[in-house]
Structure 1
């Protein structure tokens, strides 16, 4: 699989996870492979009700707590989906949402240099 093909496949997996587990997918999603990291950028992530909720500091805090808790609960499922496509051990998974821009970033570190794996194949 080429680097571009792997990035596209990871985007599909994350989109599937967001729809099936988190309840809603992004408008756009793009994955970047950088050495041993997968950086996934999701845009158009907030629903209209979430945008209204995050109009004030209290709402932002509540939203982030709920989203963090949901993501932490589904982390194992997401990691399993990724490991089904790439033979790697996942070291860590991080996620954050910007309530200002409606963008979400997921960073996953693995035990192999994925750029090297893509070059070999």
Structure 2
């Protein structure tokens, strides 16, 4: 890849990161606004969604807390996407040391999500 192609990819990635953060902030703002206006999280007592499926089910039902959590999930996923795209960029650059390092980081991130403790 030429330097200009790499710079184009970096610009696209930076725009994606910015869009991900802005989208996340907007969704969290909507959920928080609903929470303040209704005074209700959408869940009874101390029960809250603890996995992505339950969160998305709550979003479909317009539960404020689930909407806030969706914004947070997008915020978490945004830099993880960046790491994944970096692997592709390093492969195209034929920089295999960084492919290995970035792949290890990506695997660690995925494992941490899969094994993460939910209470």
TM-score with structure 1 setting the length:
0.30
Comparing both chains, which one has the higher relative contact order based on Cα–Cα distances under 8 Å and sequence gaps of 6 or more?
Answer: 1
Structure showing the higher strand proportion among its residues: 1
Structure showing the higher helix proportion among its residues: 2
TM-score with structure 2 setting the length:
0.30
Report which of the two structures shows the higher radius of gyration computed on alpha carbons.
Answer: 2
